[in-house]
């Protein structure tokens, strides 16, 4: 898998600091499990965050606490590798946990124009959904009030900005207006998080918006 579009520093830092809404954390965790480059950058932010913690030594940790923490990290590391090993799965491990399985466990609902979606349960400060765009079909053109983070899991889409294939992330904000179109050949399946309602231009998607919770 060749990944061309990665997470930006602001997202990785916020993820490292634990300050992202749950919906965004899921997209970041899923991309990181697919992307060596972002995993390495996250590790460096984690290290910086850790050294900042060490410098403000208001809390004195004893040797046992340090050893216990390292043991926890070791345990978590080996568990993650075991959990991630499923060569036949489309969804990386963090996403499979939310869905309760792989692609065949998703409960799709129609979202108009042949597009289907499945909203995943997270805290209410942002929302995250799986979107399935039939090959060659498009999502109605829209702008954004907040941030929209879209990760491609299968197939590819193009919009006014670029082409996004498996593993790629598009970070959209108030400045981007786009019409994502799935490439021919294969349905495009994405994981998308938003922290504010989208701005649809056409009347029909606008009317359906409250119902679709997008």
The residues binding Zn ion (CB under 5 A) are: 6, 35, 37-38, 148, 172
Q: In the complex, what is the shortest distance from the CB of residue 202 to Zn ion, in angstroms, rounded to a whole number?
A: 14
Q: What are phi and psi of 138, to 5 degrees?
A: -130, 160
The region, left, alpha or beta by phi > 0 then psi within -120 to 50, assigned to residue 35 is beta
Question: What is the DSSP annotation of 147-168?
Answer: -EEEEEEES-EE-SS-EE-TT-
Q: In the complex, what is the shortest distance from the CB of residue 21 to Zn ion, in angstroms, rounded to a whole number?
A: 17
User: What is the distance between the alpha carbons of residues 178 and 158, in angstroms, rounded to a whole number?
Assistant: 9
- Nearest-5° angle of CA 89, CA 85, CA 100? 50
* Of 161, 149, 154, 166, residue with least CA distance to 2: 166
Residue among 9 and 74 whose Cβ is closer to Zn ion: 9
Q: In the complex, what is the shortest distance from the CB of residue 9 to Zn ion, in angstroms, rounded to a whole number?
A: 12
User: What is the distance between the alpha carbons of residues 156 and 164, in angstroms, rounded to a whole number?
Assistant: 5
Residue among 10 and 65 whose Cβ is closer to Zn ion: 10
Residue among 40 and 53 whose Cβ is closer to Zn ion: 40
Residue among 120 and 193 whose Cβ is closer to Zn ion: 193
Residue among 75 and 118 whose Cβ is closer to Zn ion: 118
Q: In the complex, what is the shortest distance from the CB of residue 192 to Zn ion, in angstroms, rounded to a whole number?
A: 8
The region, left, alpha or beta by phi > 0 then psi within -120 to 50, assigned to residue 185 is left
Q: In the complex, what is the shortest distance from the CB of residue 77 to Zn ion, in angstroms, rounded to a whole number?
A: 19
Q: What is the DSSP letter of 104?
A: G
Q: In the complex, what is the shortest distance from the CB of residue 41 to Zn ion, in angstroms, rounded to a whole number?
A: 8
Residue among 141 and 187 whose Cβ is closer to Zn ion: 141
């Amino acid at each position: 898998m060749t990944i061309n579009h990665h997470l930006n520093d602001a997202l990785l830092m916020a993820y490292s600091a634990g300050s992202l809404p749950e919906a965004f954390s899921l997209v970041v965790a899923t991309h990181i499990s697919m992307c060596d480059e972002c995993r390495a950058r996250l590790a460096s932010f984690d290290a910086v965050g850790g050294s900042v913690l060490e410098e403000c030594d208001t809390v004195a940790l004893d040797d046992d606490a340090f050893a216990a923490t390292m043991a926890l990290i070791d345990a978590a590391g080996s568990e993650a590798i075991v959990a991630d090993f499923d060569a036949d799965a489309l969804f990386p491990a963090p996403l499979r946990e939310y869905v309760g399985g792989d692609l065949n466990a998703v409960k799709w609902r129609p979202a108009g124009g042949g597009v289907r979606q499945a909203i995943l349960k997270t805290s209410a400060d942002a929302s995250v959904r799986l979107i399935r765009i039939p090959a060659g079909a498009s999502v109605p053109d829209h702008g954004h009030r907040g941030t929209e983070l879209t990760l491609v899991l299968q197939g590819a889409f193009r919009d006014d900005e670029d082409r996004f294939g498996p593993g790629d992330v598009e970070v959209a904000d108030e400045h981007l207006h786009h019409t994502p179109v799935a490439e021919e050949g294969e349905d495009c399946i994405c994981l998308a998080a938003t922290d504010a309602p989208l701005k649809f231009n056409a009347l029909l998607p606008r009317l359906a918006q409250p119902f679709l919770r997008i």
